[in-house]
Amino acid sequence: MIHKLTIIIIKNITNYINLKKKESLLIVRLDDIGDYLLFRNFFEILKKDNDYGRYNFTLCGNKNYKNIVENYDHNYFNNYIWVDKFKYIHSKIYRLYLKFRICFIRYDILIHPTYSRTILSEDLIQYFNAEIKIGSKSDITNISKDKLELYDKMYTRLINTTANPIFEFYRNREFIEKLLGYNILLKKPVIDCSKEKINYLQIFHHNYVVIFPGASISTRRYEPDKFKVIMAYLLLNYNYDLAISGSKSDKKISDSLTDNNNNHRVHDLTGQSLIDLVHLIKDSELLITNDTVALHIGAIFNKKTICISNGTMYGRFLPYPKEITDNVFPVYPDIVDSVNIQDIQKLLIYGSTLDINEINPNKIISVIQKILNNNN
């Protein structure tokens, strides 16, 4: 009741304070970094469209991918609203501040292309003032069916995309095609970082393999002790350096991997920026990662990538379509390999309860052997 009353009061105030941005379009994209990487190339297409391209674009995004936007996508946007999702969930003061900040600006159009909409995103969208609100028809990965029906009423138009599991980049493209009313020729996500020079080679003694042991969701993290087995195999059998990478929050994991390891071929680069990570992966010989942002960077640059996964949302983010790259090699718990694709998709499309740590390190080592031995 208090929540509804707050919305009514704020909307009444905004009727008197009409801070309307002329020809303004707001794009809401609050999901994670990997999701953003599979969508970001469509901003250019929107900007070039005869109708939507005339608007001034504002991005309401997850602050975790701010570094990517500032380096690669800043030409598309006039304004930004960065959301700290952790603070939004845990701080009432931050939520109130953000809602009051956004509610006094009026936009012509709001576009929310995320397929698996969340309670967080829908809660915020209630406070955005837009004459037209366009969203994606959502599944129930993150919201119950009853709540979804209520949230759907906020939108002027909901765009339907393919109900069956399809790779997320293709779903994003379908959304934009239906929004614009014509086919898009873009075949795969790309990152143009040709103008940047970040040279890691000076710290390495040899070509290197990137180890990315972190993930924001605990069920997607392979145990450090198992990563140690893989690292030991690589150091013993191949003349590569190892670059351990991850966010600042992964420092405890990387410390456990380098504990008592004085090998000069092991380099801990945890805590680097996203741009640094892009270049580190781009210039690597092999990437071994959990199902997280590093996977998508590796795929975009067509790098040989081993992704350790419990099979969650099978068909949406893994496996990668061969048309995009044939260099991503997923490694799943054995049960995923033993069941036909249709049944696995039905079982895992909304998430997975399979234990990623049931995967034996030797299963990953056998994939490493196939990949690296073919290089020689």
pLDDT tens, position by position, 32-52: 999 999 999 999 999 999 999
**If pLDDT is split at 50, 70 and 90, which confidence band does 5 have?**
low
Q: What is the CATH number of domain 19-180?
A: 3.40.50.2000
Does residue 17 have a pLDDT over 70? no
Q: Which of 336, 335, 334 is nearest to 319 (CA)?
A: 336
Output the average pLDDT for the chain. 91
Distance, in Å, from the CA atom of 95 to the CA atom of 102, rounded to the nearest integer, reads 11
**If pLDDT is split at 50, 70 and 90, which confidence band does 16 have?**
very low
pLDDT tens, position by position, 102-114: 988 999 999 999 9
**If pLDDT is split at 50, 70 and 90, which confidence band does 21 have?**
low
pLDDT at 77: 97
- Containing 109, the helix (H) or strand (E) segment is strand 105-112
Residue ranges of domains in the chain: 19-180, 201-375
Q: Do 19-180 and 201-375 share a fold?
A: yes
Q: Do residues 273 and 67 touch, judged by C-beta distance below 8 A? A: yes
Q: Which one is predicted more confidently, 358 or 165?
A: 358
pLDDT at 106: 92
pLDDT tens, position by position, 57-72: 999 999 999 999 999 9
Distance, in Å, from the CA atom of 174 to the CA atom of 141, rounded to the nearest integer, reads 19
Does residue 317 have a pLDDT over 70? yes
pLDDT at 309: 97
**If pLDDT is split at 50, 70 and 90, which confidence band does 343 have?**
confident
Q: What is the biggest distance separating any 2 CA atoms in the chain, rounded to whole angstroms?
A: 71
pLDDT at 263: 82
Q: Which DSSP string do the residues of 200-241 spell out, in sequence order?
A: -GGG-SS-EEEEE---SSGGGPPPHHHHHHHHHHHHHHS--E
Q: Which one is predicted more confidently, 22 or 147?
A: 147
For 207, residues 6+ apart whose C-beta sits below 8 A from its C-beta are 240, 241, 284, 285
CATH 3.40.50.2000 fits 201-375, yes or no: yes
Q: Which DSSP string do the residues of 160-198 spell out, in sequence order?
A: ---SS---HHHHHHHHHHHHHTS-----S-----TT---
Q: Do residues 28 and 98 touch, judged by C-beta distance below 8 A? A: no
**If pLDDT is split at 50, 70 and 90, which confidence band does 304 have?**
very high
**If pLDDT is split at 50, 70 and 90, which confidence band does 344 have?**
confident
Does residue 258 have a pLDDT over 60? yes
Question: Rounded to whole angstroms, what are the CA distances from 64 to 140, 223, 248, 249, 373?
Answer: 24, 24, 12, 12, 37
Does residue 19 have a pLDDT over 70? no
Distance, in Å, from the CA atom of 259 to the CA atom of 247, rounded to the nearest integer, reads 18
For 336, residues 6+ apart whose C-beta sits below 8 A from its C-beta are 311, 314, 344, 348, 354
Would you give the distance in Å from CA 273 to the centre of its chain?
15
pLDDT tens, position by position, 285-303: 999 999 999 999 999 999 9
Distance, in Å, from the CA atom of 71 to the CA atom of 193, rounded to the nearest integer, reads 9
The lowest-confidence range among 322-326, 338-342, 355-359 is 338-342
pTM: 0.92
Specify which residues 157 forms β-bridges with: 134
**If pLDDT is split at 50, 70 and 90, which confidence band does 206 have?**
confident
Mean pLDDT of 314-322: 95
Does residue 142 have a pLDDT over 60? yes
Percent residues over pLDDT 90 in the chain: 80
Does residue 198 have a pLDDT over 60? yes
Does residue 253 have a pLDDT over 50? yes
Q: Which of 56, 63, 66, 59 is nearest to 28 (CA)?
A: 59
Does residue 209 have a pLDDT over 90? yes
pLDDT at 259: 78
pLDDT at 311: 93
pLDDT at 123: 94
Q: Which one is predicted more confidently, 11 or 16?
A: 11
